[in-house]
Structure 1
């Protein structure tokens, strides 16, 4: 059975938290350093997480301010 890379597993967990309402639109996400410590992974892994989530339009970055949850209506499809 293939092992899911950490960056995909963490990104999927964040998406699940947004879908479940644990993370709200506009909510600021932890810094790269904070998220790396939380999941016990390297900062480069967290950078991959955020690149993936940004590509999926789950998050958006505001230079100098942080990384924020995007409105799910912009990226979430109806089941």
Structure 2
């Protein structure tokens, strides 16, 4: 069984939470420090998570305010 990198696994979990409506558009995500503690990974791993999710348009960042869930209509494809 192939090993998935932590940052991909965490990004997939956040995306799954959005798809399941556990996270809604404009919900604020935890800080890098909080998410690192939750998943027991380094802050640099969480930075990779946020870079990946931002590139996929799943999240958006507001300098000094935080990281927020983007509207799924902007990035989610129909199955």
When normalised by structure 2's length, the TM-score is 0.99
Show structure 1 runs of 4+ deviating over 4 A.
Answer: none
| Alignment coverage as a number of residue pairs | 79
Residue 19 (1) aligns with residue 26 (2) = no
Residue of structure 2 in register with 1:39 after alignment: 39
Structure 1 unaligned residues grouped into runs of 5+: none
When normalised by structure 1's length, the TM-score is 0.99
Residue 74 (1) aligns with residue 63 (2) = no
Deviation per residue, 1:4-42 (Å, 9 max, x gap): 000000000000000000000000000000000000000
Shift of 1:52: 0.3
Structure 2 unaligned residues grouped into runs of 5+: none
